[in-house]
Amino acid sequence: KQEVTQIPAALSVPEGENLVLNCSFTDSAIYNLQWFRQDPGKGLTSLLLIQSSQREQTSGRLNASLDKSSGRSTLYIAASQPGDSATYLCAVNSISSGSARQLTFGSGTQLTVLP
């Protein structure tokens, strides 16, 4: 059974810092990995989707990498801003889920960027 772990559970940084969020998964047989942002009362927003054949994806100040063989992904946020404060979730679409395309989620990293 796929298990997804995110460390740390919470992170507080001063504005302007570059930071890295970590995600690890136990079964490397995946279709893709998705990073989400969760804001209170606003649901989940998809940030980046990395296919199993890709090594990284970039969107603005965000860069996500994938090392499938080691079961790890990182989300890099450059020049952090207070508006980046949210919970960041990593989710894996495993081949073992078959046609269900079921996502297995980590429990998230709660990020606070201090002005």
Partner 1 sequence: DADVTQTPRNRITKTGKRIMLECSQTKGHDRMYWYRQDPGLGLRLIYYSFDVKDINKGEISDGYSVSRQAQAKFSLSLESAIPNQTALYFCATSDERTGMRSEQYFGPGTRLTVT
| Residue 44 within binding range of partner 1, rule CB under 8 A | yes
Look at residues 109, 104, 114 and name the one whose alpha carbon lies nearest to residue 89.
Answer: 109
Q: How far is the CB of 95 from partner 1 (least distance, A)?
A: 8
CA dist 104 and 112 (Å) reads: 24
Count of chain residues binding partner 1 (CB under 8 A)? 26
For the bound state, the minimum distance from the C-beta of residue 111 to partner 1, rounded and expressed in Å, comes to 16
* Peptide bond preceding 14 in cis form (omega within 30 of 0): no
Structure-token match 């199993």, residue found = 52
CB-nearer residue toward partner 1: 103 or 111 = 103
Please, which of residues 12-41 interact with partner 1 by CB under 8 A? 31-32, 34, 36, 41
Cα(26)–Cα(87) distance, rounded to whole angstroms? Answer: 22
Residue type present at position 30: I
CB of 76 to partner 1, least distance (A): 20
Interactions with partner 1, residue window 51-110 (CB under 8 A)? 51, 89, 91, 93, 99-108
Of 41 and 60, CB closest to partner 1: 41
Nearest residue to 37 via CA among 106, 108, 115, 114: 108
Distance CA 49, CA 90 (A): 10
Binding site for partner 1 (CB under 8 A): 4, 31-32, 34, 36, 41-46, 49, 51, 89, 91, 93, 99-108
